[in-house]
Chain A
Amino acid sequence: MLVEVCELLKKVVVGSSFLLLTVGSLQPLTALSVEYAEGFSIEERSGVTLLNIHPREFENYNSITYALVEQDKHQGIAADELRERLSIESNESELQIIRIPIKKLIPLSTTFLPPLLMLGIDDVLSGIDNLDYIYSQKLRSIIDKRDIPQVGNGPSLDMEQIVQLQSAVVMANSTQGEWNVVPKLKDASIPVVLNGDYLETSPLGRAEWIKFIGLLCGKGKEAEKHFKSIATRYTELRQMVQTELSENTERPQVLMNRPMNGRWVVPGGEGYMAQFIEDAGGDYLWSSDSHSSSLVLDVETVFIKALHADVWLHQYGSTSLQELSQADQRLLKLKAFQTKKVINNDARTTEAGSNDFYESGPYQPDLILADLISLFHPSLLSGHSLHYYRFLE
């Protein structure tokens, strides 16, 4: 009897505090919108921001909704209760309450870090994956100064460290097999937020995930502002290429990557890099392919296509022309090699193996685009000096 009364009381208290919250935030919370990203959407319901994630490849988790509830508002409300109040059908998606702004964040991928600097919220950083993968000097010194622990990732995830960081939210990729840390974290009742930025196929779509991180950390407006300026510049550059290049202008043929062990892995024609090349006025050799993931091809297929290519973009590994030719003399036959149009995205890397192209690059697609335009059509951006890319010598 007593228990029942208590339960009833609790419900009343929670319910009324919820009502208070709803009334308190009646002034319209201007909902941010998502323009380019396909993997998440933002929704406002009764004053609560709902972050829906539905990346195409998250097969295991059809769709997840993060209900962003302010830290001090209705303590102790259960997800089911909130679902009822917001009238979300229970089969719509999994609902998870995240208290915002997040005070402690453990990003398990280097690509989740730059927004923290860009939005001035690096004080939430409470743990990192691996210091070796981080390029930014600024982040490195912050990590060093605050003695932020490395918690690893995948099979080497250090659960004890994470548990010790009490009430920190972990941001993770959704991956398969033993690299999937999500069930492990959930077992330990550690809040996990999935971030699917890497699955976006458009450069602006990937950059837009700054809003996702911004909203979680209470900086949604700033994130929107930041993204808007990036998107504007990107669109302007793309427009400029479209208007400057007439129908008859030769677009340079672009080859990517190098052969490894008898295979040549190239990005798919519907993927992130293909989009960049297209926007920069290049003719990607696999532009008509319909995959967004990489293609694993036999060397000879690529070789015969690659012979004519004007520009050769690398993504990893290749350090110099000499190294390339020593490894495989056949590559000397490629036109791009002979004209020394061999370019790698490793202008900003560290000895330990970090590469800024994969760190700040996703949030500065305008800079990557500018690099590519100046490589494909030097006359269009004559004053530009390469940021992420460099010519191999």
Chain B
Amino acid sequence: MKQGSYKHSKAGIILRFLLILGAVFSLFALDVFKGSVDIPLERVLRILFSPAEWLSETGGLTLEQSGQRDIILLFRLPRAVTALLAGMGLALSGLFMQTLFRNPLAGPSVLGINAGANLGVALVVLVMGGAAGGFVATLPFGMKALVTGAAVFGAGAVLGVVLLVSRFIGSVTLLLLVGLMFGYLANSLVTLMIHFSAAGRVQAYLQWTFGSFGATIWNDIYILLPVIGVAIFLGILLIKPLNALLLGEEYARSMGVALIRVRMIVIVVGALLAGVVTAFCGPVTFVGVAVPHLARGIFRTADHRTIVPASLLLGGATALTADIVSHLPGQGGILPLNSVTALLGVPVVVWVLIRSRAGRSFI
């Protein structure tokens, strides 16, 4: 790892963290303050910070006022929280994949992990969904937990198989190809299921694949938050062994890292993150692959002590930005999230990669 003159000073790193943290806060606030319905800033603040007067169902609010309260508390807040959590989760998952496979192209959508999660979701929804149609966000609570479990299991299954194959294939390129193949397999199974399902669901499925942070309600966040919280906690515990892995498996082993156990935990956490986010937000692409590169480019290091928190924050910021932009068209229109993430993100990431030599020297 040649860091040499590219390495930032400690103060530089702290400054960068503070700036990004500030950006996350501002973006979160912006996502809550601005929406397709115009609500005056002063009223939003009042709804958020003097809820007693605003929360009572019978408190003499006009229909317009209670509608605005519901929009802030029941639509925008859960959406912003979902975007933040999903962005963090996807970025961390992508970082894990890149370190684990020692490949800059790795990420949940590239390795077929998202496809595995899709397969899990489709299996439960299409086979057991009954006449209700629709996808995860329109399911009753019990079903949601089941679907989430299936998505995590599907993601884990693909990831596990890819890693198993990696024991026999030395080439990372080949390994990525294998991941892609399993992704195609999972996707074709989903297509097959869609093909044999009632016509209305095809539309619902298509909508789901556009990706959205706005499909969740608070009840969903009660699943999303603990899962992502635990995964982040585990991610922090994994910083040391991940750093060792960066230097190669031989080195890691010599450092006393229990490789098999670490790999197992990384797989489970990566699948958990990708699976749970996919279940609730649809297959959100790009964030997982790109954000770790953005983090390495900005901080000019591959050290997980820096890159884990940086990826988490930048992941949240990226997702929030995408959510804000997807609500920009005006007149209540909305853009598909997946096209926004890539449209906005690709130029930024390419610029960062070209500008900093970090793109070549780390992973």
Contacts and interface: CB of A to CB of B under 8 A. Distances in A.
A317 B202 CA distance: 12
A302 interface: yes
B280 to A, nearest CB: 10
A262 interface: yes
B37 A330 contact: no
Interface in B2-54: 35-37
A352 B195 CA distance: 13
B281 to A, nearest CB: 9
Interface in B135-161: 135, 137-141
Contact of A300 (B71, B195, B199): B71
A369 to B, nearest CB: 24
B217 interface: yes
Interface stretch (A29-37, A224-232, A243-251, A303-311): A303-311
Nearest to B141: A326
- Interface size on B, as a range, is 35 or more
A262 B213 contact: yes
B180 interface: no
A46 B133 CA distance: 54
Interface residues of A, number: 33
B70 A303 contact: yes
B71 A297 contact: no
Contacts of A351: 131
A133 B79 contact: no
A71 interface: no
B248 interface: no
Identify whether the interface residues of A are mostly helix, strand, loop, or mixed. mixed
A389 to B, nearest CB: 17
B327 interface: yes
A98 B64 CA distance: 59
Nearest to A307: B67
Interface in A17-70: none
Contacts of B79: 262
Given A156-B195, A330-B74, A263 B334 contact: yes
Given A298-B334, A299-B75, A317 B198 contact: no
A133 B199 contact: yes
Nearest to B337: A262
15 contacts: A132-B198, A260-B135, A261-B210, A261-B282, A262-B79, A262-B214, A298-B35, A300-B76, A301-B37, A316-B133, A317-B138, A326-B141, A328-B138, A351-B131, A353-B199
- 3 closest A-B pairs by beta carbon, nearest first, are A262-B214, A353-B198, A301-B332
Given A261-B212, A353-B199, 10 more contacts: A260-B135, A260-B137, A263-B207, A300-B35, A300-B36, A300-B71, A303-B67, A303-B71, A316-B133, A329-B219
